[in-house]
Amino acid sequence: MSGLQWSIKNGDLDAVKTAVEGENVDVNVELTGGRLPLTVAADMGQTDVAKYLIEKGADVNKKDGHGISALLAAVWEGHPDVVKVLLDAGADKSVKAPDGSSLISQAEDAAVKSLLQG
């Protein structure tokens, strides 16, 4: 696991900023295991990191090496705050899961379902 990936998972925004700004790491780079920085942030519920990555140009609709978008990751893990950030940034809620199912059918959290229906 890369240092950037570890920092994102742990919500270490200062370390993420150092990597992106100090080391010129591309915010859309594929990380270890085919993940994307924004997908990892969404998966782990790291709202502030997700906001920062979007501000720095992360593609909210890009799918990782597994065919998973950041929005799908946030939906699967039940992180409504991240779902809202992604939708506000233009994430496509019509995207499908790798099995072809809709995001709303994948959502278990009531707040996430409400955001997807809104």
pLDDT, one tens digit per residue, over 1-30 is: 578 999 999 999 999 999 999 988 899 999
Amino acid letter, 88:
D
Q: Is the whole-model pTM more than 0.85?
A: yes
Q: What is the pLDDT of residues 80-114, one digit of tens each?
A: 999 999 999 999 999 999 999 999 999 999 999 99
> Cβ neighbours of residue 70 under 8 Å, at least 6 residues apart?
36, 38, 39, 41, 42, 50, 58, 60, 62, 82, 86, 91
CATH class of 3-117: mainly alpha
> Cβ neighbours of residue 43 under 8 Å, at least 6 residues apart?
35, 73, 74, 76, 77
* Tokens, residue 72: 């799908």
Q: What is the pLDDT of residue 101?
A: 95
